[in-house]
Amino acid sequence: MQIIKDKNIVDDTWQHINDDEIIPAGEVTLSLARWQQEKHALIHHAGQLGVRLAPADDVAVLAGDVKRLALIELEFADFADGRAFSQAWLLRERLDYSGELRATGCYMPDQAFYLARVGVNSFQPEKFADLPVMLAKLNEFSVHYQRSVH
Amino acid sequence: MYQYNEIDQTLVDERVAQFRWQTEQFLAGELSEDRYRHLRLRNGIYIQTHAPMLRIAIPYGVFNSKQIRMLAHIARTYDKGYCHFTTRQNVQFNWPKLEQTPDILADLATVQMHAIQTSGNCVRNTTSDHLAGVCVDEIEDPRPYCEIIRQWTTLHPEFDYLPRKFKIAVSGAVNDRAATQLHDIGLHLVKNDAGVLGFQVLVGGGLGRTPIIGKVIRPYLEQQHLLSYLEAILRVYNLFGRRDNKYKARIKILLKETGIEKFTAMVEQEWQLIKDGRELAAERVEEMKAHFAPPAYIPEAVADKSFTQYSADDKAFATWVKYNTAAHKVAGYNAVFLSLKAPDVPPGDMTDAQLDAVADLADRYSFGEVRTTHRQNLVFADVNQADLYAVWQQLDALNLATPNIGTVTDIICCPGLDFCSLANASSIDVTKEINDALDDMDYVHDIGELKINFSGCMNGCAHQSVGHIGILGVDKKGVEWYQITLGGSSDNEAAIGERLGPAVAKDEVTKAITTILAVYVEQRLEEESFLDMVKRVGITPFKEQVYADN
């Protein structure tokens, strides 16, 4: 599968592991609950680690973990639920998270510009066909009024 | 007033291009109804009973003659020749075609206007005092701060998908004319003991189904922290506001369910973490204030004698001056209200011809600027007293000089069942009936200050909960009924009105209102306003008379 990362269309090299699956070697993402349960055991994991956040998850619980994480996914259940925008901002600004921050799930290409401004740098659109549209929409506005993430 | 720079213009132009693409995608079947709904709402477009409705922003109610002529052009070209001014100082068109809305927005962009965030679950137009900058009770002009807030909230990447709509109002005067206690955030410009300007911050006011008066969460905020404090409130709301039930999603419910102490602590805690390093620079405030510098008042205005003479000679003119003008901080000038409440016109409506004529009058008599008011009227803020007689005559010829500002026929009224798909009952026709019953202007003037607010459903667009007399249309098994409340107020002593009794039938509303007025006239003490009498005697004497036949 392909995604947008840093304004390029690239292959998604990550494996997204369900809570009942065995964690294989390599680049894997886990749910927040599983991460919290198993993060100590994963110290010797061969490969990079990532966490998937739901809209209601409190990002502050990752404060001590962000250095270990190479990917955090913000999963939209509903495009109208804007909590992911604040989660992204908090991860970048409050937790100084510097790894890949990816939007996934149910959201619109029209929201990609805002997501990029709060620190999301990778995008998995709902439909593969939306990739070029979403890429174009990252440059939809050439100006803005507010300071956002550094 | 504020003039766009290159950044403002680019942003608005790019927004039009974005919306044009979205609309094309929708019309081509590439974008679902639900998704397009969220996108069009954020560009002011509702789908109403008869046609789409387009709500255009008039930031804090200030606009100019060029922009008014554009509204006239839109009314003629895309609509049925009229528009409607709202309680949040915006303007609406009720008959545009959906496929033409991108063209309308493009036309608006040529005169520095837009419809961005005039609906949808985002931060709406910041509203303010229609007498800002000219009123005699002003602590500080709120308009520069409103413009700073307008820019900061426009396309804010983090806060465009909030749990529910979010409204901010700013007042800079002793008397609150912006209903700030009934907004999600109300800001009062105040001075501390050292005389330094800052803001009193209120949160959680609102009308609709659950009317609540806002609460002070910070008595004094240094002005340089304005935006970081708003950011803290909005972040707390965005993360913790309810999203499971749209009727419980406003910040007023979050504040109520969390408790003011805990809610305030959450905001303060967030603010402490962000406030340093993002202060509003003093130069930026000064630069913004320069946009709102006073116009070139003529010093000789104060020497005019003709105004006094005309007032003495012409009773009708004197009456109009009494009701439809306000004192001005510059001697020799007045603010003039244009009443959009002529008896035979739906409240807040104006035709294209009136708009064009008003633009000409604004250019000639009020430095080319016009304001919209919370009560759905217009204001020329800076009229030389020597010109008042001529202005009155011309407004009268335009049917814009009914001397009823602040009186019982200056009714705030929503479009109701005639246009709105949410409404349960009609409001415009009943308002006309009330107006017809109150055609004796001497009686209207004798009643004095009395605010009737009339909404066609419990969403409360006409703020009926805070009307001195509130009327609310409800649907009972397909029949229109009307609940009446007394004693509400959106002024400094804000209050939610008390229900008079059971809802009355449509053909009983006017009689109920005239009965309430008769009770007031009979039982008032000398110089006692209607609202003061309701406070003194409660609703019982009114109730007894209104329901006497039952």
Amino acid at site B156:
H
pLDDT at B88 over 80: yes
pLDDT of residue B550: 66
Domain residue ranges of chain A, discontinuous segments joined by +:
2-137
Percent of chain B clearing pLDDT 90 (strictly above): 92
CA geometry: angle at B162 spanning B106 and B41, to 5°?
A: 30
Hey, of B12, B123, B161, B244, which one would you mutate to test binding to chain A, going by the most A CBs within 10 A of its CB?
Answer: B161
Let me know: does B188 contact B180? Beta carbons within 8 Å: yes
Phi–psi pair at A113, nearest 5 degrees: -60, -45
Helix (H, G, I), strand (E, B) or coil at B10: helix
The answer to whether residue A15 neighbours chain B at the CB level (below 8 Å) is no
pLDDT of residue B49: 66
Domain residue ranges of chain B, discontinuous segments joined by +:
6-109, 134-283, 302-397, 412-546
When pLDDT is averaged across residues A128-147 and rounded to a whole number, the result is: 94
> Exposed, middle or buried by CB within 10 Å (0-12, 13-18, 19+), for B42?
buried
What pTM value is reported for the model? Answer: 0.96
Tokens standing for B235? 């972040």
- Pairing verdict, β B62-64 and B369-372: antiparallel
CA geometry: angle at B64 spanning B61 and B70, to 5°?
A: 105
Closest Cα in chain B, distance from residue A112 (Å): 10
pLDDT at A74 over 70: yes
Q: Looking up tokens 């040529």, which residue turns up? A: B110
pLDDT of residue B362: 98
Closest Cα in chain B, distance from residue A36 (Å): 21
Tell me which fold the domain A2-137 belongs to.
Answer: TIM Barrel (3.20.20)
> Exposed, middle or buried by CB within 10 Å (0-12, 13-18, 19+), for B19?
buried
Q: What are the chain A neighbours of B158 within 8 Å (beta carbons)? A: 82, 85-86, 89, 114, 118, 148
> Which of B158, B273, B278 has the CB atom closest to A85's CB atom?
B158
CB proximity list for B191: less than 8 A, separation 6 or greater: B139, B197, B198
- Pairing verdict, β B349-351 and B82-85: antiparallel
Percent of chain B clearing pLDDT 70 (strictly above): 99
The answer to whether residue B10 neighbours chain A at the CB level (below 8 Å) is yes
Cβ pair A142:B10 closer than 8 A:
yes
Let me know: does B42 contact B23? Beta carbons within 8 Å: no
What confidence tens digit (pLDDT) does each residue in B396-412 have? 999 999 999 999 999 99
Residue of chain A whose alpha carbon sits nearest to that of B13: A141
CA geometry: angle at A85 spanning A81 and A90, to 5°?
A: 135
pLDDT at A150 over 70: no
> Which of A83, A93, A113 has the CB atom closest to B239's CB atom?
A83
Is it true that B134-283 and B412-546 share their CATH fold?
yes
pLDDT of residue B89: 93
pLDDT at A63 over 90: yes
Tokens standing for B2? 């504020």
Let me know: does B105 contact B60? Beta carbons within 8 Å: no
What b/e string do you get for A69-84 counting C-beta neighbours within 10 Å, with b at 16 or more?
bbbbbbbbeebbbbbb
CB proximity list for B307: less than 8 A, separation 6 or greater: B385, B386, B388, B389
The answer to whether residue B273 neighbours chain A at the CB level (below 8 Å) is yes
User: Which pLDDT band, with edges at 50, 70 and 90, does B199 fall under?
Assistant: very high
- What's the whole-number average pLDDT of chain B? 95
pLDDT at A83 over 70: yes
Cβ pair A141:B39 closer than 8 A:
no
User: Which pLDDT band, with edges at 50, 70 and 90, does B3 fall under?
Assistant: very high
Helix (H, G, I), strand (E, B) or coil at B320: helix
**What single-letter DSSP state applies at residue A94?**
I
What confidence tens digit (pLDDT) does each residue in B143-194 have? 999 999 999 999 999 999 999 999 999 999 999 999 999 999 999 999 999 9
* Second-level CATH architecture of B302-397: Alpha-Beta Complex (3.90)
Q: What are the chain A neighbours of B273 within 8 Å (beta carbons)? A: 94
The answer to whether residue A141 neighbours chain B at the CB level (below 8 Å) is yes
User: Which pLDDT band, with edges at 50, 70 and 90, does B11 fall under?
Assistant: very high
Closest Cα in chain B, distance from residue A117 (Å): 6
What confidence tens digit (pLDDT) does each residue in B97-143 have? 999 999 999 999 999 999 999 999 999 999 999 999 999 999 999 99
Closest Cα in chain B, distance from residue A5 (Å): 19
pLDDT of residue B308: 93
Cβ pair B7:A117 closer than 8 A:
no
pLDDT at B50 over 80: no
What confidence tens digit (pLDDT) does each residue in B305-348 have? 999 999 999 999 999 999 999 999 999 999 999 999 999 899 99
Query: Which has more confidence, B257 or B426?
Result: B257
CA–CA separation, B174 and A53 (whole Å)? 48
Q: Mean pLDDT lowest for which of B338-342, B507-511, B546-550?
A: B546-550
CA geometry: angle at B438 spanning B435 and B440, to 5°?
A: 130
Q: What are the chain B neighbours of A112 within 8 Å (beta carbons)? A: none
The β-bridge partners of B118 are none
CA–CA separation, A122 and B338 (whole Å)? 54
Cβ pair B10:A143 closer than 8 A:
yes
Cβ pair B160:A85 closer than 8 A:
yes
Let me know: does B72 contact B32? Beta carbons within 8 Å: no
> Which of A79, A108, A114 has the CB atom closest to B157's CB atom?
A114
CATH superfamily of B412-546: Sulfite Reductase Hemoprotein, domain 1 (3.30.413.10)
The β-bridge partners of B166 are B123
Tell me which fold the domain B6-109 belongs to.
Answer: Sulfite Reductase Hemoprotein; domain 2 (3.90.480)
Closest Cα in chain A, distance from residue B250 (Å): 14
pLDDT of residue B260: 97
CATH superfamily of B134-283: Sulfite Reductase Hemoprotein, domain 1 (3.30.413.10)
Q: Looking up tokens 């509203």, which residue turns up? A: B127
pLDDT of residue B133: 98
Check if the interface score ipTM surpasses 0.85.
yes
